Structure 1
Amino acid sequence: MTFHPHLSKLQPYPFEKLKRLFAGVQPNPAYSPISLGIGEPKHPTPEFIRDALIRNMDGLASYPATAGSEALHNAIANWLARRYNIQALNPATQILPVNGSREALFALAQTIINPSVCQDGPPLVLCPNPFYQIYEGAAYLSGAEPYFANADPQRNFAPDYQRIPEAVWQRVQLLYICSPGNPTGAVLTLNDWKELFDLSDRYGFVIAADECYSEIYFKREAPLGSLQAAHLLGRDYRRLITLSSLSKRSNVPGLRSGFVAGDAEIMQKFLLYRTYHGSAMSPMIQAASVDAWNDETHVEENRTKYIRKFEQITPLLAEVLDVQLPDAAFYLWARVNDLNGISDTEFARQLYEQYNVTVLPGSYLAREAHGINPGENRIRMALVAEVEECLEAAQRIVAFCKTLNDR
């Protein structure tokens, strides 16, 4: 029996690695389990979204169109115009609903990558490092290879694109970028976007801007988006695709509702691909999504919860860890090797064993590239639960770190 030749290049997902790390470990029964490992929103789903699903259950009797409803296109276009203070995109040609940004991030590479045009090796998909693991899988299974640009803590975790060789840029066909970033929470500046747009103009690659954390932020000014940056720089959306989702914004990860928007020519080809891929969104989910994109009150309430949570927990953890409030998103990205040189994996394993708290080793979210693994000796903590549970976890982590310092 034969299989896709690149499937063997896929690594186990971080949570599978975590399961192996914890194999045979018995957590301290004196503590109830608390997981800060998975970035799955735990705040309640707004009632009006639940109600919209129930009201529109008749939609289950119809095959949905892959392109999605006009109402959903309009709701997304209006949200983008309000959120980023830009002229509304053409709802018919520049917007496409998708079943969550994850599946679209993967499928986009299948549409963009053309292995036949590279003379000096397979095409490249440029990814930040650490990164959302879908980028790597999308690269391999589209016939390309990932090229990792390491996050630089001295640059607010932005990669130094100037260090990437010319020969690499000439093979790049797709660049993934996540802003606000997972796991660092860093937000790209207008200068960062100008650099990426200039590189895209020079080498002709497509930019896929993963912006699923855009509505969780801690400063007065909302994070800059890619479409907004293009608008401010006086350019159109050529070779630019923005991807977003309701999962974090509206606490509906199970709804699997998001969108892609941007370059009309790419959107046309992506719609063609999706027509065959079978990615149409259920009519009842489309209807609920319209209500979600049209409402900002629940988003502001959700953001306020995160702000209060991070204001309490970040200073507490900063007493024992090298960690600071991120620009946005719901992760803390902490360095741990200052604690008697403990590794990120050993920190996670011992914390789980002694205090029944799960965190994700940073090395699981990155790859060794250019001589280092930029996630090594860091941990990612997802503060997604209600504040009381997150505070309890933070207090246990503080106690654990103090035992490490006492050794």
Structure 2
Amino acid sequence: MSADVTSMAEGGLAPRPDHVPADLVRDFNIYDVPGAAEDVQAAYAAIQQANPDIFWTPHNGGHWVATRGEDIMAMQRDYHHFSHKHIVLPPMPEGTQRQIPLEMDPPEHARYRRPLMQSLMPAVVGELESKVRDVAVEAIERVLPQGECEFIEDFAKILPIHVFLELVDLPLSDKHRLLPMAERSVRGRSAEIRLQAQQEMGGYLLGEIRARRENPGQDLLSKLVNVNVGDGRISEMEAVSYATLVLFGGLDTVAGMIGFIARFLAMNPGHRRQLVERLDDEAFVKHAIEEMIRRHGLANTARVIAEDFEYGGVYFRAGDRILPANLWVGLDERINENPLVVDFDRDRPVHAAFGNGPHACPGAVLARREIRIFLQEWLSRIPDFHIKPDTKPVLATGMVNGVLRLDLCWP
């Protein structure tokens, strides 16, 4: 992209700031990555290979992009310079309620995050396992006799949503209302679309939040909306923001990862057979899950530069936005040899799918458990499956990558 293009704000492009060198400007749009319709992560890997380690794009308000694993992991940990103050692109309208606790930095962040961590500890997740397994088995047995299914609607969304709605004690019947909101929130291409989805979710939750602030229960939602932050509990507005963010995360991200893994296994019978033959080998399955997570990164959260400073030979100015996309860590050949190849014998799959540092995903334990249960229950019943002829998986990019449709069939 020429410097002339970046000097104009036409066509939705931000003008190039004075401190951004013209030779670091690239045509990158997180919502329109070339090749993503065939393979989202391979498309990102191509961006990684073809561009400087750090570059600037005029799309989505104009922002920096960090593509290399070591830089991304450093930025995830260094909240002093790379603040979580705003995490989405393009930025939300000025004055929008921040997403709690994601758009907070330590030490404030820790006080809000604590009840979420406590509710998703390994011991608590262990108690949920039988419920997760029951939901998985029921969903699989429903589609098994049909010989085919639309995997995302018939399984990938069902498993995490049933479990999460039970965690927050909301009626399962509301899932059809909530899922479209989650989709628009995490993959809406404009700030207006995402804001509307958040407002709709806030409106849905407000009555529940007021009831549970009046009479708290033992469910996760009650704990979130009554969290004490040192000088009393959070305000009603903060409670709505916190609950909205957690619900969107619980309704979408695990479904996305399960979708990518199912698509991979449908297209790679050799890997599928390896898993089928060693389903009882807990260490092998655990390792295989990490390798598939490494290859199929999801979340992309932006940061705000907190002060003027130089990093890696690039001069950042306070207020600049930067995208250190999580999935590039797992795809970096400087860290993982032949990163686009899924190798269940890889010594140590390195990724940042769940983030690093103080903002590492508190739901990581539950996500891994759900993926493991999916593999165990699905592969023990449907060991041989593939993508239905004359169909094509529908993939999406954005702040959270995902699989929107996946038609599978089996003998």
For the criterion TM > 0.5, the same-fold answer is: no
TM-score tier by shorter-chain length is under 0.3
Identify, as 1 or 2, the structure richer in strand: 1
Identify, as 1 or 2, the structure richer in helix: 2
TM-score, normalised via structure 2 length:
0.27
